[in-house]
Amino acid sequence: MESMTFVLFGATGDLAKRKIFSALYNLYVDQKLPERISIIGLGRRQLSHLDFQEKVKESILTFSRRLEHNASEMGGFLDAFRYSALDVTNSEDYQKLLQVVKQRENELEIKENRMFYLSVSPEFFDIIALNIKESGLGRTNGWKRLMIEKPFGHDLQSARELNDKLSRAFEEEEIYRIDHYLGKPMVQNLEALEFANPVLQSIWNQEHIANVQITASEIVGVEERAGYYDQAGAIRDMVQNHMLQMLMMTAMHLPEKINASEIRNEKRKVMEALRKVKKEEIQSQIVRGQYISGEINDQSVAGYKEEPGVNPSSKTDTFVAARLWIDNPFWAKVPFYIRTGKRMKEKSTRIVIEFKNTLKLHYKDNDQKVEPNLLIIEISPAENVSLQLNSKNPSKNGKIEPVRINFSCEQTGVGVPEAYERLIYDALIGDSTFFAHWKEVELSWEWVQPILEAFEEELLPLYEYQSGSYGPDAANSLLLENGFKWWLDE
Ligand code: NAD
């Protein structure tokens, strides 16, 4: 890998402490960083290089997946770090930063390849990008790249404005937008499941699939994020990004060549074919809910409106379910259902593909119920693929019953790279497969925008659902109307 500089804005923040330093360290130990790398941490307060290095070390000792650390390896890693105080709005600070970057490039004979990772509040993304351009930090003989994490805007218009500003300083190919769901191994594995298995590929269409169900449920409530969440709701926090990304990954069509640009192309086509929900139809396609108090794992928990920091008359959605249609020749007849919520009965992100049950009529005189075949992809916390088939049970007089063939993809433990490691590594080598392209982000906002407006105009009810449940009953009706049910709910 070519030598480079990694500039980390927000290096004194929580994300850097919990995720980014450990990710870089693990890449270093696994020899996935270039031999010559300069890492420059930036934060508002003054810190000496040594104090900063000490902080980095502490974070790694606390949060790294590795349990043992080799002192000389750690020393070598920390040597790469320097610190510079910078106020994102002060253009002189960028000049100082440029000097630090250049000095280290000279000292270490590093090429002018520069990665800018913005681990700061999204309100600063545009001003930082502008200053990178104006200070000359972005004028390099090598490559320059920008890594940012959602939220990318608050609605369609603000997302477009942000992108316009970013694109004055960086080309689209230089922007790596993290959607950490795309860093999850089982989401990445969807590509292989669909495209590397002719058996599955040949039935991955409306001829054989009855419906697709994508669930992302959490047990936790709003936690300490009320300030952000009460403005965002599940629709912005989960649906616009993670849920639609999982939908794209499931519904994309086999490209001629499997590579980053073709895969992103196919994902974009899914979004282009996604049927827009008309405002007058929203009530029949979308369900929104908000949790009230209840019990989870024998513990009483408060309702959303009672949570600290939440407006007691809040109308924010903590649950959204939707029925979506993809108007293309592969999927036009297949409903895709999504649902996501907080304070639900279980923590689970999963995709269930229900196949058409074309043989059940053959059994209709035998008093024998034949369940449909299911492909169940568990994304988190379990990482598992299973196929539900029907089989005779000899201990029940040969009654046909569903059985599950499980393929555990569980890869936990100290040896397995975490999402941030995988994503940072991909960005360093310039592989954008598992990052969100602007077109995907924009099309997602376009789909979500009328729903945001309908929520604001209160065109649909905000159902209450008990904490510890699977959400409002209306989310079950969405499927019942088409003769289906959510699979795996207990
Ligand atoms: P944080 O508040 O802990 O840290 C913010 C950082 O920004 C600090 O280093 C601070 O010095 C710096 N900063 C603030 N104002 C500044 C200014 N005017 N000039 C220069 N630097 C300034 O925030 P965080 O939790 O680390 O989150 C950072 C970003 O990552 C946010 O966009 C957040 O949404 C995102 N994120 C965080 C997490 C997480 O687990 N913490 C997870 C996913 C995404």
Q: Could you report the per-residue pLDDT of 398-449, keeping only the tens digit for each?
A: 889 999 999 887 766 667 788 899 999 999 999 999 999 999 999 999 999 9
CA dist., res. 321 & res. 337, Å (int): 7
Q: What is the pLDDT of residue 359?
A: 86
Strand ranges in 223-344 using DSSP code E only, listed in sequence order: 286-296, 299-301, 319-324, 336-341
| Contact of 182 with 245, CB cutoff 8 Å | yes
Cβ of 22 below 6 Å from ligand 1: no
Q: Which long-range contacts (CB under 8 A, 24 or more apart) does 201-209 make?
A: 201/254, 203/355, 204/330, 205/330, 205/331, 206/330, 206/331, 206/332, 206/333, 206/334, 207/356, 208/355, 208/356, 209/334, 209/353, 209/354, 209/355, 209/356
| Number of other residues whose CB lies within 10 A of the CB of residue 89 | 10
Cβ of 84 below 6 Å from ligand 1: no
- Nearest CA-CA partner of 148 in 9, 24, 2: 9
CA dist., res. 258 & res. 255, Å (int): 6
- The single-letter DSSP state of residue 277 is P
Q: Looking at per-residue confidence, does 150 or 17 come out higher? A: 17
Q: Whose CA is nearest to atom 44 of ligand 1?
A: 149
Among 121, 124, 162, the mutation site with the greatest number of ligand 1 atoms within 8 A of its Cβ is: 121
Q: What distance in angstroms lies between residue 121's CA and the mean position of ligand 1's atoms?
A: 5
Q: What is the pLDDT of residue 411?
A: 66
Among 9, 14, 128, 152, the mutation site with the greatest number of ligand 1 atoms within 8 A of its Cβ is: 14
- Is 242 an annotated catalytic residue? yes
Cβ of 423 below 6 Å from ligand 1: no
Please give the structure tokens belonging to residue 438. 């602007």
Cβ of 119 below 6 Å from ligand 1: yes
CA dist., res. 25 & res. 199, Å (int): 40
Q: Spell 286-296 as b/e; 16+ CB within 10 A means b.
A: bbbbbbbbbeb
How much helix, strand and coil, in percent to the nearest 5, is found in the chain?
A: 40, 25, 35
| Contact of 7 with 101, CB cutoff 8 Å | yes
Q: Whose CA is nearest to atom 15 of ligand 1?
A: 44
Cβ of 88 below 6 Å from ligand 1: yes
Q: What distance in angstroms lies between residue 2's CA and the mean position of ligand 1's atoms?
A: 28
Percent of the chain with pLDDT over 70: 99
The CA-based angle 312-315-318, given to 5 degrees, is 100
Q: What distance in angstroms lies between residue 119's CA and the mean position of ligand 1's atoms?
A: 5
Query: From the candidates 242, 253, 362, 437, which is the catalytic residue?
Result: 242
The helix or strand, by DSSP H or E, that contains position 470, with its residue range, turns out to be none
Cβ of 8 below 6 Å from ligand 1: no
Straight-line distance from the first to the last Cα atom of the chain, in angstroms, rounded to the nearest whole number: 49
Cβ of 232 below 6 Å from ligand 1: no
Q: What distance in angstroms lies between residue 138's CA and the mean position of ligand 1's atoms?
A: 22
Among 18, 40, 96, 119, the mutation site with the greatest number of ligand 1 atoms within 8 A of its Cβ is: 119
At 85-118, the pLDDT tens digits run: 999 999 999 999 999 999 999 999 999 999 999 9
pTM for the full model?
Answer: 0.95
DSSP for 310-333 reads: S-TT----SEEEEEE-B-STTTTT
Cβ of 122 below 6 Å from ligand 1: yes
Q: Looking at per-residue confidence, does 176 or 359 come out higher? A: 176
Q: Name the CA radius of gyration of the chain, rounded.
A: 24
